[in-house]
Amino acid sequence: KPVVAVVGRPNVGKSTLVNRILGRRAAVVQDEPGVTRDRVSYDANWNGRDFIVVDTGGWISDAKGMAAMIAEQAELAIAAADAVVFVVDATVGTLDEDEAVVRVLRRSNKPVILAANKVDDQRHEAMAATMWNLGLGEPYAVSALHGRGSGDLLDAILDVLPEAPPSTYVEQSGPRRVAIVGKPNVGKSSLLNKLAGQQRSVVSDISGTTVDPVDEIVEVAGNIYHFIDTAGIRRRVKEASGHEYYASLRTQAAIERAEVCVMVIDASEPITDQDLRILSSIEDGGRALVIAFNKWDLTDEERRHYLEREIERDLVAFRWAPTVNISALTGRNVDKLSKAIEEAAEGWETRISTGKFNAFLGRLAAAHPHPVRGGKQPRILFGTQAHNCPPTFVLFTSGQLDPQYTRFVERRLREDFGFSGSPVHVEVRARA
Ligand code: GDP
């Protein structure tokens, strides 16, 4: 979601304007320097567009001069923002502190919307017009308190916001799309036959669903799934050279079309690099993942013991995926796949509100601050979930984070919010 920072010196009405943008009468926090607020960013929507509003009113101050402090706060906010609303008080005119912010705004190349606030009636319009001389374009005369002019202001903000970065996943209606993937001979087609053979009713005509001729719709334990590229699984072409290459292309295409991938691994044989490559494709593709250890009927105690070690050694990076031990031959646990698929899909679709996410970041930073590097300590200013499917988070920071710290944030996110069965992506946008 794009980010809008609201900046300006204290007392110009930033918090009131933020509440106005949010369209609710939340308690107005006193706009005094030195007041720290734990929540600085909010989810907003105008005319169907979602964006984040950052209120810089309460950011931590120190003993520097007022103008320098305000400029510094504005600088941090502006660096992380896609657009800036600069608020001035039309009843007072511009002061030195305003000028300090203007200099920062000029240096940044971010689009700026100038809001001349406290224009409660016509009398103040003339004063608002004098704000043209700030060189920031048209001053929008608004009354944050009474709502006057706020619609035009919001329209102007949306005009300069970039389109949200798209998720690679394109939402479609119809049953959940599942791809059964894995290297040759692990039992994919046996599993598909078992799943399709078990269904009580053949579901072929679900309204609003177009099923590719290579796909099948199958009911598993009461849930209906759209299995992808089942023709590729059923067709048992004898390997010519180059076959593996085409098989991997096919796997890749199936992963892209799916929401959830069921990765079939032969439990009776050691885990191979090829298994790991397919797993990585699923994670990189951002799809939900269930791991099915097949041919369980062929495993004895000794093999299961070794498998456990292989899992610890090779699959640590996929610990978040639910696993099911199955036998496509005997049908053991095959219907349990449904529960695992649902769990993974739920983790994949999870959304966390900006408020909750920032509360989490606040707790994290307090308990485990980023280590100091070369005398500097990058701070996470705030964060937002850019999208789900899979959950993708953006952290706005005052400097580059250690990749290790970013992974730590990701681990903690999982501990607090789950995301079972889904990759979680954390991106960092550091202030330039
Ligand atoms: P695919 O290439 O992944 O589709 O694998 P297939 O479904 O063709 O299975 C490969 C071989 O493994 C076949 O001989 C199957 O009968 C056998 N197989 C599949 N699943 C199981 C299982 O759960 N237990 C046992 N014992 N054999 C299985």
Would the annotation count 9 as a binding residue?
Answer: yes
Q: 183 with 299, same domain?
A: yes
**pLDDT class of 201 with cuts at 50, 70, 90:** very low
Which residue's alpha carbon is at the smallest distance from atom 25 of ligand 1? 295
In 3-state terms, what secondary structure has residue 171?
A: coil
Average pLDDT of the segment spanning 357-364: 92
pLDDT at 296: 98
Determine which of 2-6, 47-51, 150-154, 190-194 has the lowest per-residue pLDDT on average.
47-51
Residue percentage of the chain with pLDDT more than 70? 84
The per-residue pLDDT for range 241-286, each reduced to its tens digit, is 556 666 777 888 899 999 999 999 999 999 999 999 999 999 999 9
Whether residues 343 and 383 share a domain: the answer is no
- Split at pLDDT 50, 70, 90, the class of 18 is confident
- Residue 315: per-residue pLDDT: 97
Residue 166 covered by a domain? no
Residues 97 and 18: beta-carbon distance below 8 Å:
no
In this structure, are 229 and 278 located in the same domain?
A: yes
Please give the pLDDT value at position 243: 60
Contact 156, 183 (CB under 8 A): no
Per-residue pLDDT band for 1 (boundaries 50, 70, 90) equals confident
Asked if residue 167 is part of any domain, the answer here is no
Q: Establish whether this prediction's ipTM goes over 0.85.
A: yes
Residue 148 shares a structural domain with residue 227: no
pTM of this structure = 0.67
For residue 341, pLDDT over 90 is answered with yes
Whether residues 335 and 388 fall in one domain: no
Task: Tell me whether residue 73 is in a domain.
Answer: yes
Pair 279, 213 in one domain: yes
- Domain end, chosen from 131, 160, 189, is at 160
- On whether both 197 and 308 belong to a single domain, the answer is yes
189 marked as binding residue: yes
Say if 171 falls within a structural domain.
no
Residues 123 and 272 in one domain: no
Sheet arrangement for strand 139-141 = 41-46, 49-55, 3-7, 83-89, 112-117, 139-141
CATH number at residue 302: 3.40.50.300
Record the tokens describing residue 51, joined without a space. 């964006």
Question: What would the pLDDT profile of 308-335 be if each residue is shown by its tens digit?
Answer: 999 999 999 999 999 999 999 999 999 9
Region 198-226 average pLDDT: 68
83 or 242, greater pLDDT:
83
Q: Are strands 380-387 and 392-397 parallel, antiparallel or unpaired?
A: antiparallel
Q: Do the domain assignments include residue 405?
A: yes
Whether residue 137 has pLDDT greater than 60: yes
Which atom of ligand 1 lies at the shortest distance from residue 294's CA? Answer: 23
Return the pLDDT at 96.
80
pLDDT (0 to 100) of residue 61: 47
Question: What is the dihedral sign for C-alpha 385, 387, 391, 397?
Answer: negative
Ligand 1 mutation pick, 190, 193, 235, 325, max ligand atoms within 8 A of CB: 190
Task: Give yes or no for residue 194 CB within 6 A of ligand 1.
Answer: no
Kindly tell me if the per-residue pLDDT of 339 is higher than 60. Answer: yes
31: confidence class by pLDDT, cuts 50, 70, 90: very low
Looking at the fold, whether 419 and 292 belong to one and the same domain comes out as: no
Distance CA 12, CA 222 (A): 59
162 is in an annotated binding site: no
**Same-domain status, 361 and 331:** no
- Number of domains observed in the structure of the chain: 3
Mean pLDDT highest for which of 69-78, 153-162, 240-249? 153-162
pLDDT at 167: 54
Q: Are residues 290 and 363 in the same domain?
A: no
Lowest mean pLDDT among 46-50, 153-157, 218-222, 409-413: 46-50
Query: Does residue 186's CB lie within 6 angstroms of at least one atom of ligand 1?
Result: yes
pLDDT band at 28 (very low <50, low <70, confident <90, very high): very low
- What confidence score (pLDDT) does residue 51 get? 87
Domain span holding position 271 = 176-348
- Quote the ligand 1 centre to 294 CA distance (angstroms): 8
Q: Which of 292, 325, 348 corresponds to the end of one domain?
A: 348
Which atom of ligand 1 has the smallest separation from the CA of 328?
A: 23
Asked whether residue 169 is assigned to any structural domain, the reply reads no
Does 416 have pLDDT greater than 70? yes
Closest residue (by CA) to atom 17 of ligand 1?
A: 187
Check whether 63 has a pLDDT greater than 70. Answer: no
Handedness of CA 56, 62, 64, 66 (dihedral sign): positive
Q: Stretch 195-212: mean pLDDT, rounded?
A: 57
Q: Is the CB of 187 under 6 A from ligand 1?
A: yes
Rounded-to-integer distance, Cα 224 and Cα 220, Å: 6
Q: CA Rg, the chain, in Å?
A: 27
Q: Which of residues 134, 160, 186 is at a domain's end? A: 160
pLDDT of residue 34 exceeding 60, the answer is: no
Q: What is the average pLDDT across 4-8?
A: 88
**What angle, 0 to 180 degrees and rounded to 10, lies between the N-to-C axes of helices 14-22 and 150-160?**
80
Can you tell me the distance from the alpha carbon of 77 to that of 431, in angstroms, rounded to the nearest whole number? 9
Q: Which residues pair with 382 in a beta bridge?
A: 396
Q: Is 189's C-beta closer than 6 angstroms to any atom of ligand 1?
A: yes
Name the residue of 180, 181, 185, 233 to mutate for ligand 1: max ligand atoms within 8 A of Cβ. 185
Residue 409 — φ and ψ, nearest 5°?
-60, -40
Per-residue confidence (pLDDT) for residue 121, from 0 to 100: 83
